[in-house]
Structure 1
Amino acid sequence: MAKFLNTSATNYFLEELIKNASDRLVLISPFLKLNDRIKELLQDKNRLKIDVRIVYGKNELHPDEISWLRDLTYIRTSFCKNLHAKCYLNEESCIITSLNLYEFSQINNNEMGIALSRADDSDLYREAYEEAQRIIRISDEVRMSLEKVVSEETSSAGAEREDITVEDKLTSSKLAQKLGISTQDLLEKLVAVGYLVPKDGKHYITDSGKAAGGEFRMGKRFGSYFLWPNSLNLD
């Protein structure tokens, strides 16, 4: 049976939900700034190679969050435009709540939530799980990076701010939106035509990519990203 949660209960059940995940974990929150306890639990899930998906809805991730996330192989992070839902679930339980996965909210705000289980609330759990999967599908996966440029010849692509444009150039995510495809599909196309080359889980711009007008940029707040001509030819 579903349980009502106040602020302290929501925080407790959230920690237990993360701790008990043995197969998958989905964390959906517009705002993302993790406290030390949540980070500790997620690092343990990463060591155990648990599939973790974090979906957030605000562009401005703090550099500390980017730096921490980029080193966790089994935690994938996605950006969902217009996200307002807060939902946390593993393979057996789910929390739907007003609580953001945000340190300030967990300490200072008055929150409410509902906890439900797959065993006792199978229909509710299934509907919440399916909606969480839909949100993941419409989200753009973000590659986290704060690395410095090692040389002018090879540069790594990282997290991209959605609204960056320079003259007639677009970020990979903006160009993907224009073409009606996901950012990941665009990156695969850029690799296929020889504009990028993948290495060690990152992408590096090639001489052909530069000749086509591609640029690597390092932002102070959002890490590294690529810019491409608005009319880039991918044939």
Structure 2
Amino acid sequence: MAKFLNTSATNFFLEELIKNAKERLILISPFLRLNDRIKELLEDKDRLKIDIRIVYGKSDLHPDEIKWMQKLDYVRLSFCKNLHAKCYMNESECIISSLNLYEFSQVNNNEMGILVRKYEDNEVFKDAYEEAQRIIRISEEVRISLDEVKTDSSSKEVEADEENNNFSKLTTSKLAAKYKLKTADLLDKLTEKGFLKLNENGKHFLTDQGKAIGGEFRSSQYGGYFLWNENTEI
């Protein structure tokens, strides 16, 4: 039998659901701004190499969330347009709720939800799992990086390169915009050409071939990003 959850129960059972995950964890929420407790639980699941899928629906992902997720090897993040569903599940339990994975909502809002256990309501659990998988399939997986050049000493180095070489450097997102591509699609093309490679954690790194055409990797307080000559051919 499904169990009704009020606000406090939703928060409690959400934490229990994450803690009890043994194989997989799916978190679907339009808004994403995790509190410290949820982050601690997810970090522990990451250490245990649990497959974690997070789907969100608002494109203004906060830099702090990106910076935090860059440290996790077993978290895959996807963006789903027009997402309004809130569903959280592991291999045996599922919460369908009004609760967003948003710190403000968890503290300030009045929420409702239901808890479904696979061994009690197998058919309902199966339907919820299949719908969660459909949402994942129609979502666009996000490369966890922050393609941003900060106005500091590192950007001055870029300006110097532009002056010395008579061409400007573009971040991956700006180069993608020039070619009217999504950033993820451009990353795939750069990988196909051998300018980038993926490491065992699914993160890109610059190859010698990429360096030879003027590609650079820079670090900022928000994480790493790539710079490319504006005339880079793809």
- Normalising TM by the smaller chain, what interval? 0.7 to 0.9
Give 1:179's aligned residue.
Answer: none
Answer whether contact 1:98 1:111 (CA < 8 A) is retained.
yes
Residue in structure 2 matched with residue 116 of structure 1 by the alignment: 116
C-alpha contact (below 8 Å) 1:216/1:227 kept by paired residues: no
Tell me whether 1:11 sits opposite 2:11 in the alignment: yes
Once the two structures are TM-superposed, the CA of residue 75 in structure 1 deviates from its matched residue by: 1.2
CA shift digits 1:68-124 (9 cap, x unpaired)? 111011111111111111000000000001100000000001111111000001000
Match runs of 1:67-106 below 5 Å? 67-106=67-106
Residue 25 of structure 1 is matched in structure 2 by 25
Deviation (angstroms), 1:196: 2.9
Q: For this pair of structures, how many residues does the alignment match?
A: 212
Do the aligned partners of residues 68 and 188 (structure 1) sit closer, same or farther apart at CA in structure 2, a change above 3 Å counting?
same
Distance 1:129 1:15, change over 3 A: same
Structure 1: runs of 5 or more not aligned = 177-185
SS of residue in 1 equivalent to 2:124: helix
Among all aligned residue pairs of Structure 1 and Structure 2, give the percentage whose two residues are the same amino acid.
Answer: 58
State which drifts further: 201-210 or 117-126.
201-210
Partner Cα distance (1:190, 1:37) in 2: 38
Q: TM-score, normalised by structure 2?
A: 0.75
Deviations 1:20-54 (A, max 9, x none): 00111000001000001101111110111111111
Structure with max Cα Rg? 2
Q: Which runs of 5+ in 2 are unaligned?
A: 162-168
Q: Is contact 2:217–2:224 with CA below 8 Å preserved after alignment?
A: no
Q: Please give the root-mean-square deviation of Cα atoms over the aligned residues, in Å.
A: 3.7
Structure 1 position 172 matched with structure 2 position 174: no
Q: TM-score, structure 1 length as denominator?
A: 0.75
AA partner of residue 52 (structure 2): V
1:34 corresponding residue in structure 2: 34
Please give the alpha-carbon distance, in whole angstroms, between the structure 2 residues aligned to 1:145 and 1:165.
15
Determine helix, strand or coil for the equivalent of 1:170.
coil
Deviation readout 1:163-199 (Å, 9 max, x if unpaired) = x9745543324xx4xxxxxxxxx64443223343335
Partner of 1:204: 206
Quote how far apart the aligned CAs of 1:228 are.
Answer: 11
Counterparts of residues 212-231 of structure 1 (less than 5 Å) = 224=225
